[in-house]
Structure formats: structure tokens, C-alpha cells
């Protein structure tokens, strides 16, 4: 393999992305307060801790069932802040437009951004716009950065999962990836699948207000799906995780498309989902609380932290067999966010 080439898989959120980060990006840029292994960096400040994060959005197609690149760009960054327990304060927006892009479509995207920001209770505080010649970008790319305030005493992080903890999710998996994929490939489905794109800061604030001591990890399983995110948690926390496939919330049409295209829903992206790792004593209470929330009606307990260990993730399959779960390798679906 030609080591010099950047491949699409390097942007997939899976193993190749990790390699690029660990071998090149983090070592070269270290010394700056990088988010490293969590969704947002935490900056100590005399008046409290600030969370800081950034993300770029290159989804193709720009408009998909259930959203567009605009609300995705706001919600994605809001969610990265929410996952470290921060309440978002302000967001910046960088637009890169391709010459010839439609002004009406841009207006629609901006309106979606504004609506998403209002819903999440965050201000769009600053921004920048560049236009590049036709063919030098694909219609529109958006970068958003966000800062948020972390309440004192809060300790959330991928390394905090403990033996005995339960793993919960607030709803069905794979909706976003399959919504984008089916639009991009022009799949004609009887039931249209909508992206789950949503801001989760209200839901996470709700959970943390009630169970701040017992919630150990919050993570949004975006690119790479729940498999990759759970593997990351298992590795960071040095524990083993066992999933129960029969409990995984999955919409029938999403499962259908996955079967058709040979995709594993465990690896398909979500944009409105959170994995909650919580002490067993609080698991049922958190489940109830999730289910009462509009973004959590399909919530379920999907697994548990079974042992200290080397980061192994296993799944009891729906027929009772046992198999390993690894990170996404290469690209499953490129440019879904």
C-alpha cells in the first residue's frame, strides 16, 4: 500500500481515522489543547471549565430525509459539547461554498441552522464565508466550532466505564446513515427513512441533573456507529463490554436496507443518539427518564460492562451465539456527515 496517500477511509471515523490521528495529527499538533479521545476538549478557566470542540460537515447529498447539512452542522457540534456534560454557549460557522451553488439552497440551509441553534439554545456568534472555484469543493462544506460551560464537579469521559455498569441508548440505531445512503443511491423504499439528526443537550442535561454521580460516560455514536464508539469506550476504560443484540433498537426498514446492501447497522452512523454508561443501580431510572423524553421514546438497555480487561467488546447475537465486535475498518459509507 502506498503510505503517502490519504484515502477516504482515513475520514471514516474508524480504524484508519484513529491511525491518522495517533500517528500524524496529534503528535504533530500536540501542545495545543486537543480534544484527544473525548468529543470536546476541557479548558480550565478561573470561572469554571470550558468545553471546546470543532467539526466539519461534508455530507453528500446536502439535503436528506429528516434534515440537511445545516442542522447537522449545528446539532453535531452541540452534541459534542453535550457529551462532556457542557451546556453550549456559542457556535462559530465557517462556510465553504462552491462557485455556482444555489442561493435559495443556501438560504434554506442557513434557516435550518438558525432553527437548530434556537432549539438547542445556543448563539451563533461568529462566522466566515469563502467561495472556491467550481469543482474545487462539492457544493457546500461547513465547519462549526462550539464552546460550552461544564458545571463544577462533573467528571464524564470515555475512560470512566466501570465493571457492572449498564449501557443504554436513547433510540434506534443507523437511521442517519441509511437515510443519507438511500437518498444518495436513489434507493426506492416503501417507507422513507428519516435521519435522527437532533440536538441532545436538553436530554443529557436532564439526565445529568438527576444522576450526575452515577453516569460515567456519555458518547454520541456518529461515524463508525455504536460498534466503534463502544470499542473506544472499552479500550479507554480498559474493560470488556457485552452487548445483547436482541435488545438493540432497530427500525425494520433500516434493517432491511442494511441486509440489502450488506451493511452492519452496528457500524452505521447516528446523529441524534447517545450511549449512556451508568452504574447498574441507576440504570432503570435512567431508562425511564430517557423514555419520557421526546428524543428517547425507544430507549433501551443494550449491554453491560462485564469485566476489567483489554477492551474486548462481544455481542450475544439474537440467536444466542457469541461474537466479537471490532471497530469500523476502512469506509463503510463515506461522507455521511
By the rule CB under 8 A, 104 interacts with other proteins? no
Looking at residues 239 to 258 of the shown chain, list those that interact with other proteins (rule: CB under 8 A). Answer: 246, 252, 255-256
By the rule CB under 8 A, 185 interacts with other proteins? yes
Comparison of 165 and 245: residue with beta carbon closer to other proteins: 245
By the rule CB under 8 A, 264 interacts with other proteins? yes
DSSP 332: S
**DSSP of 297-311:** TT-EEEEEEEEESSS
Pairing of strands 166-169, 63-64: unpaired
The one segment of 26-34, 63-71, 217-225, 308-316 that binds other proteins by CB under 8 A: 308-316
By the rule CB under 8 A, 25 interacts with other proteins? no
Looking at 152, 188, 294, 322, which residue binds other proteins (CB under 8 A)? Answer: 322
Comparison of 13 and 76: residue with beta carbon closer to other proteins: 13
Looking at 30, 259, 281, 310, which residue binds other proteins (CB under 8 A)? Answer: 259
Q: How far apart are CA 306 and CA 313, in angstroms?
A: 10
Comparison of 164 and 309: residue with beta carbon closer to other proteins: 309
Q: How far apart are CA 300 and CA 170, in angstroms?
A: 7
Question: By three-state DSSP, how is residue 328 classified?
Answer: coil
By the rule CB under 8 A, 106 interacts with other proteins? no
Residues sharing a CB contact under 8 Å with residue 327, sequence separation 6 or more, in sequence order: 14, 15, 18, 224, 227, 228, 231, 232
Q: How far apart are CA 88 and CA 23, in angstroms?
A: 31
Grid cell for residue 13: 471515523
First-residue to last-residue Cα distance in the chain? 27
Residues sharing a CB contact under 8 Å with residue 286, sequence separation 6 or more, in sequence order: 168, 207, 210, 211, 214, 215, 276, 278
Looking at 56, 92, 160, 329, which residue binds other proteins (CB under 8 A)? Answer: 329
Per-residue binder mask for other proteins (CB under 8 A), 130-169, x = binder? ----------------------------------------
Looking at residues 193 to 212 of the shown chain, list those that interact with other proteins (rule: CB under 8 A). Answer: none
Looking at 27, 153, 262, 294, which residue binds other proteins (CB under 8 A)? Answer: 262
Residues sharing a CB contact under 8 Å with residue 92, sequence separation 6 or more, in sequence order: 124, 125, 126, 127, 128, 144, 145, 146
- Interface with other proteins by CB under 8 A: which residues? 1-2, 5-9, 15-16, 19, 185, 246, 252, 255-256, 259, 261-262, 264, 314-326, 329-330
Amino acid at each position: 500500500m502506498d503510505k503517502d496517500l490519504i484515502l477516504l477511509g482515513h475520514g471514516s471515523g474508524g480504524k484508519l481515522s484513529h491511525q491518522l490521528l495517533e500517528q500524524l495529527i496529534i503528535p504533530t499538533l500536540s501542545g495545543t489543547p486537543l480534544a484527544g479521545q473525548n468529543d470536546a476538549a476541557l479548558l480550565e478557566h478561573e470561572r469554571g471549565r470550558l468545553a471546546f470542540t470543532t467539526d466539519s460537515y461534508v455530507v453528500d447529498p446536502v439535503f436528506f430525509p429528516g434534515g440537511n447539512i445545516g442542522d447537522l452542522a449545528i446539532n453535531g457540534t452541540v452534541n459534542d459539547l453535550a457529551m462532556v456534560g457542557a451546556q453550549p454557549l456559542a457556535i462559530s460557522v465557517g462556510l465553504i461554498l462552491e462557485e455556482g451553488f444555489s442561493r435559495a439552497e443556501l438560504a434554506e440551509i442557513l434557516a435550518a441552522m438558525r432553527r437548530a441553534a434556537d432549539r438547542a439554545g445556543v448563539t451563533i456568534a461568529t462566522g466566515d464565508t469563502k467561495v472556491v472555484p467550481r469543482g474545487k469543493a462539492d457544493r457546500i462544506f461547513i465547519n462549526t466550532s462550539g464552546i460550552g460551560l461544564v458545571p463544577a464537579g462533573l467528571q464524564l469521559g470515555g475512560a470512566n466505564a466501570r465493571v457492572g455498569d449498564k449501557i443504554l441508548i436513547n433510540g434506534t440505531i443507523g437511521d442517519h446513515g441509511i437515510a443519507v445512503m438511500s437518498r444518495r443511491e436513489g434507493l426506492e423504499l416503501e417507507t422513507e427513512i428519516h435521519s435522527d439528526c437532533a440536538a441532545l443537550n436538553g436530554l443529557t442535561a436532564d439526565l445529568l441533573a438527576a444522576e450526575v454521580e452515577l453516569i460515567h460516560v456519555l458518547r454520541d455514536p456518529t461515524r463508525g456507529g455504536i460498534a466503534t464508539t463502544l470499542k473506544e469506550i472499552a479500550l479507554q476504560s480498559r474493560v470488556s463490554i457485552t452487548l445483547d443484540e436482541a435488545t438493540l433498537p432497530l427500525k425494520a426498514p433500516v434493517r432491511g436496507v442494511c441486509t440489502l446492501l450488506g451493511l452492519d447497522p452496528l457500524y452505521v452512523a447516528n446523529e441524534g443518539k447517545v450511549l449512556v454508561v451508568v452504574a447498574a443501580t441507576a440504570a432503570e431510572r435512567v431508562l425511564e427518564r430517557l423514555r419520557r423524553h421526546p428524543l428517547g421514546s425507544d430507549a433501551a438497555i443494550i449491554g453491560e460492562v462485564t469485566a476489567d480487561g483489554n477492551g474486548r467488546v462481544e455481542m450475544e447475537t439474537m440467536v444466542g451465539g457469541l461474537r466479537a465486535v471490532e471497530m469500523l475498518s476502512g469506509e463503510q459509507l463515506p461522507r455521511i456527515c
